[in-house]
Chains A and B, each alone.
Chain A
Amino acid sequence: MSRQNLVLLNALGLVGISGVLLLAFVDQLLFQELPCPLCLLQRAAFVLAGFGLAMNLRFGPSTRHYALVLVAALMGMVVAGRQVLLHVTPGSGSFGAPFLGLHLYTWAFVLFGVTILGIALLLFLHRACDERCAETVDDLSDLDHRVVWLALGAFWVFAALALLNGVSTLLECALGLCADNPVAYQLLP
């Protein structure tokens, strides 16, 4: 697969992760569902995973950067899996409203799995690029300008979402620990 297509797939992957973070914000702001501590850790895992894709966009596709995504997605699966298990027994309740029949932490578990499969596919396709693309790493000037703009846009939208999550978490939890079942922002009147 050409380097341009690999960059395009990485950019689309980053757009997908940004979409997940954006949906979480919509749920938080429009439906007033403040994220629980485990929910915040899952968001952090999504940002950790997207970081690897962002590195691919900035420095060129590399197996090292895919490794970052895999580790982060595994971490996210463990956190989301724990939350699923906390609520799987009858009478243990749930957190938040379901979306399309599944709770957000269950969706997160599924999406981290999809991320791992997606990275496996990208690694499979990456091999063909290793030798031909080695000399062009860290230079996007040889790519179609639409792909470059998509990559740059995805990079900075993702970075903005990471920052907004930090601000939102700070407002919700202040400098201490988050409430077990948050109902209000600690730093807002």
Chain B
Amino acid sequence: MMALPFFTLFAGLVAAWFGHPRWALGLWAGSLLWVFVLFLAHATDRLSLQF
């Protein structure tokens, strides 16, 4: 669950390398959204991520 943004961003970098900027931006935006969701989950303690 927490590893997903890293893999998505790596996929975005590979997409960028092969000349697909829209795919890269889409994967970046998806990763940002997921990181934000995880952070909100932490901040509100909805997923027991509180360290």
Q: List chain A positions with a Cβ less than 8 A from chain B.
A: 36-38, 40-41, 43-45, 47-48, 51, 54-55, 58-59, 68, 71-72, 75, 78-79, 82, 86, 95, 155, 158-159, 162-163, 165-167, 169-170, 173, 175-178, 180-181
Contacts and interface: CB of A to CB of B under 8 A. Distances in A.
B19 to A, nearest CB: 8
Q: Which of B2, B24, B49, B51 has the most CB of A within 10 A?
A: B2
Interface of B: 1-7, 9-10, 12-14, 16-17, 21, 24-25, 28, 31-32, 35-36, 38-39, 42-43, 47-51
A48 B31 CA distance: 8
A70 to B, nearest CB: 12
A4 B38 CA distance: 38
Nearest to A59: B21
B30 to A, nearest CB: 11
Secondary structure dominating the interface of B:
helix
B14 A159 contact: yes
10 contacts: A47-B5, A48-B35, A51-B13, A82-B39, A155-B13, A165-B6, A166-B4, A167-B3, A173-B2, A180-B48
A55 B48 contact: no
A45 B6 contact: no
A59 B17 CA distance: 9
Q: Which of B36, B38, B51 has the most CB of A within 10 A?
A: B51
Nearest to B5: A44
A53 B10 CA distance: 14
